[in-house]
Chains A and B, each alone.
Chain A
Amino acid sequence: MRRVAITGAGTINALGHNVPDTLAAMREGRSGIGELDIRDLDRLSVKIGGQVRGYDERAHFNRQQIALYDRFTQFALLSAAEAIGQAGLEFSGALAARSGVVLGTSGGGLSTQDENYRVVYEEGKNRVHPFVVPKLMNNAAASHVSMQWNLKGPSFTVATACASSNHAMGQAFQMIRYGLADVMVTGGSEAMLCFGGVKAWEGLRVMSKDACRPFSATRSGMVQGEGAGAFVLEEMGHAKKRGAEVLAEVVGFAMTSDAADIVMPSKQGAARAIRGAMQDAKLAKEKVGYINAHGTGTAANDKTECAAVADAFGAHADSLMISSTKSMHGHLIGGTGAVELLACIMALRDGVIAPTIGYEEHDPECALDVVPNEAREAKVQAVLSNAFAFGGLNAVLALKTA
């Protein structure tokens, strides 16, 4: 079985337009959540989100590209460029054929759909721009990344709601591990902060109107975010041979399905995924020092997740740290696991555990060390990243220090 290194990371999200800015915000426990700047805000009852600020698409892309790139594709391209730049890889010949891209998204080009539905339904126009379909399709981001970087191996898009990124990265990991590819660009992207995207979430009545406070007894629901995260996964020998810097090693992955309820999470399903990832990694549970939680800030998730961690780890659950960075960047839905993996890499590489901010009051049903409000210095050798999606689809990754 081949080993899998992470040799590049990139992101754009509410905390920053690149990895260093994002990690600095996580270290400082800064929130990227604020009032949304979107059309028809007055018709929304949820008015906050983790929006990417100070972003001008024209600074990165020309008119022709903008005509084809939905916001979620733009975010994916920018993140991939940062990750591949750090990895220092060029894809040509045999390597290009052995390299692919697997990205997660849930809404795909939702802003494009939203805008064009407006045009035909609200404005009554009978003509839409010819690129609506190639712009809105869920695989647009993965395809444009493959085109821009000449990635000619296995490439596709994974859509498992809030677990999309983790499922995508897990696929990329397995492809390299089992010899289907040598390098994979992977992660996820989401740009749902448009009127229709927020209105749909409003309907579920699980959204907070003020802040995302995972694990706090005062929690008031989830907050949407947007952005992307991308990583270069590379076969360890390939990375070492060319002297690449290894940021962390991906050592395990597990997926489970609750097969129970379309929105309510299950402790058993989540615990099986957590145990599965450790078994896959041949990792003793005592070695796990940090878990990046799914931690959405809803009562249903937070209680179930803490119970699942307690179940999977037994007594060691009280010794490990678990935090939810969604408190800072919001829930990026199909892109969330990718941005959250950055916190895992920071824990392994820099010995800094990102905090759960907005934490106000102890909840006896979430009685774990959730690293409240302030980042913490700690040496950890192995970490997990949890993602538990609507539809009961769970995906957990295990990482170790390089």
Chain B
Amino acid sequence: MSVQEKVVEIIAEQAVLEIGDVSLNQSLEDLGIDSLGLVESIFAIEEEFDIQVPFNANEPEKSEFDISSVAAIIAAVEGLVKAQRA
């Protein structure tokens, strides 16, 4: 399973949606994921890929980790996974 597929699966589970109902241009807000849902998603992503996601819930907009859309999250996770392997 690719990073994209896995991240979409995690987000879909958190949003209680089918995987097919999550589109890449949606934001977490669009998907009905609140702040607790976000930290739980990040936890699941960290567990899945064995990475550390640089995210501080106090200042989400200042985090290096872009959560503005599903596509942005996937790109950020791909970057972290690549850095981990390097």
Q: What residues make up the interface of A, taking CB atoms closer than 8 Å to B?
A: 64, 67, 127, 129-131
* Chain A residues, CB < 8 A from B42: 130
Assembly CA distance A130 to B43 (angstroms): 7
Who on chain A is nearest to B37 by CB?
A: A64
Name B17-75 residues within 8 Å CB distance of A: 36, 39-40, 42-43, 46-47
Judge whether B47 and A131 touch: CB under 8 Å.
no
Cβ of A130 and Cβ of B46 under 8 Å apart?
no
Q: Is the CB of A130 within 8 A of B36?
A: yes
CB pair A127–B40 under 8 Å, yes or no, is no
Show 14 residue pairs from A and B whose CB-CB distance is below 8 angstroms, ordered by the A residue. A64-B16, A67-B40, A127-B43, A127-B46, A127-B47, A129-B40, A129-B43, A130-B36, A130-B39, A130-B40, A130-B42, A130-B43, A131-B36, A131-B40
Chain B interface residue bracket vs A: under 10
Residues of B within 8 A of A131 (CB): 36, 40
Residue ranges of B at the interface with A (Cβ–Cβ < 8 Å):
16, 36, 39-40, 42-43, 46-47
Residue of B nearest to A126 (CB): B52
Measured CB to CB, the nearest residue on chain A to B47 is A127
Distance in angstroms from A327 CB to nearest chain B CB is 42
Distance in Å: Cβ of B38 to nearest Cβ of chain A: 9
Closest-CB distance, A137 to chain B (whole angstroms): 14
With the chains together, A127 CA to B36 CA distance in Å?
A: 16
> Which residues of chain B have C-beta atoms less than 8 A from A127's C-beta?
43, 46-47
Q: How far is the CB of B20 from chain A (nearest CB, A)?
A: 20
Within the complex, the shortest CB–CB distance from A68 to chain B, in Å, comes to 8
B residues near A67, Cβ cutoff 8 Å? 40
* Smallest CB gap from B41: residue in A: A130
Q: How far is B14's CA from A67's CA once the two chains are assembled, in angstroms?
A: 11
Beyond known contacts A127-B43, A127-B46, A130-B36: 10 more, CB 8 A cutoff: A64-B16, A67-B40, A127-B47, A129-B43, A130-B39, A130-B40, A130-B42, A130-B43, A131-B36, A131-B40
In the complex, how many angstroms separate the beta carbon of B48 from the nearest chain A beta carbon? 12
* B16 CB, min distance to chain A CBs, angstroms: 8
Q: Which partner residue on chain A sits nearest B50 by CB separation? A: A127
Nearest opposing residue in chain A for B13, CB measure: A63
A129 CB contacts on chain B under 8 angstroms: 40, 43
Residues of A close to B47: CB separation below 8 A: 127
Q: How far is the CB of B66 from chain A (nearest CB, A)?
A: 19
Q: Which residues of A contact B16 (CB under 8 A)?
A: 64
Most chain A CB neighbours (cut-off 10 Å) among B16, B36, B39 = B36
Q: Which 6 A-B pairs have the closest CB atoms?
A: A130-B39, A130-B43, A130-B40, A129-B43, A127-B46, A67-B40
CA A152 – CA B40 in complex, angstroms? 28
With a CB–CB cut-off of 8 A, which chain A residues contact B40?
Answer: 67, 129-131
Cα distance A131–B36 in the bound complex, in angstroms: 8
Q: CA–CA, A315 to B43, complex, Å? A: 65
| A136: min CB distance to chain B, Å | 15
Q: How far is the CA of A64 from the CA of B46 in the complex (A)?
A: 18
Residue of A with least CB distance to B40 = A130
Alpha-carbon distance A67/B36, docked complex (angstroms): 11
B46 partner residues in chain A, CB cutoff 8 A: 127
Expressed in whole angstroms, the Cα–Cα distance for A131 and B16 within the complex equals 18
For the complex formed, measure the closest distance between the CB of A265 and the CB atoms of chain B, giving whole angstroms.
43
Q: Which residue of B lies closest to A128 (CB)?
A: B43
| Shortest CB distance A189–B (Å) | 22
B47 to chain A, nearest CB (A): 7
Assembly CA distance A39 to B39 (angstroms)? 29
CA–CA, A67 and B43, complex, Å: 12
The CA-CA distance from A290 to B14 in the complex, in Å, is 52
How far apart are A116's CB and chain B's nearest CB, in angstroms? 13
A64–B39 Cα distance when bound, in Å, is 13
Bound: A319/B16 CA distance, A: 61
Least CB distance, B32 to chain A, in whole angstroms = 11
Tell me the complex Cα distance, A127–B49, Å: 13
How many Å from the CB of A264 to the closest CB on chain B? Answer: 44
Name which residue of chain B comes closest to A67, CB basis: B40
Query: Which chain A residues lie closer than 8 Å to B36 at the CB level?
Result: 130-131
Query: What is the CB-to-nearest-CB distance from B44 to chain A, in angstroms, rounded to a whole number?
Result: 9
How close is B55's CB to chain A, nearest CB, in angstroms? 11
A131 vs B46: C-alpha distance when bound (angstroms):
15
**B25 vs chain A, min Cβ distance (A):** 25
Q: Which residue of B lies closest to A129 (CB)?
A: B43
Chain A residues with Cβ below 8 Å from B39 are: 130
